[in-house]
């Protein structure tokens, strides 16, 4: 196989991996939706929450705003990046608008990379 073909194949494989692993990087101050798990009742929410600390791309501390506008802290909350993630206990996730903006940014980056 010619060298240029190998590069193109590798680039295509990298692109398909990136599509599957699309992720929004959490940063302090960003807003997420928080879903609290209540035993016997299931998930309650979404509640607005601000990221207060980032442990990793999948674990954050939050300032959660309850239904009455009162803030409270939640620590070591899983940040679910994909809709099909299994939820065991309380978790937070990105709002649909944020997911849409991230997808638009990725598409624009792909267009720029292909030029």
Query: For the chain, which residues make up each domain, given as ranges?
Result: 25-114
pLDDT at position 85, please? 60
What is the distance between the alpha carbons of residues 98 and 106, in angstroms, rounded to a whole number? Answer: 12
pLDDT at position 71, please? 97
pLDDT at position 66, please? 94
More confident residue, 32 or 110: 32
Q: What is the pLDDT of residues 58-102, one digit of tens each?
A: 999 999 999 999 999 999 999 998 776 667 899 999 998 887 777
What is the distance between the alpha carbons of residues 80 and 102, in angstroms, rounded to a whole number? Answer: 15
Q: What is the pLDDT of residues 30-56, one digit of tens each?
A: 999 999 999 999 899 999 999 999 999
Name all contacts of 109-112 with Cβ < 8 Å and 24+ positions apart.
110/15
């Amino acid at each position: 196989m010619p060298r240029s073909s190998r590069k193109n194949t590798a680039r295509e494989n990298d692109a398909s991996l990136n599509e599957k692993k699309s992720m929004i990087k959490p940063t302090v101050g960003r807003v997420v939706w928080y879903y609290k798990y209540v035993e016997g009742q299931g998930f309650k929410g979404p509640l607005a929450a601000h990221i207060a600390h980032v442990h990793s791309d999948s674990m954050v501390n939050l300032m959660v705003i309850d239904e009455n506008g009162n803030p409270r802290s939640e620590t070591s909350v899983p940040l679910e990046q994909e809709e099909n993630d299994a939820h065991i206990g309380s978790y937070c996730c990105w709002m649909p608008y944020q997911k849409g903006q991230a997808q638009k940014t990725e598409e624009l980056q792909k267009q720029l990379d292909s030029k």
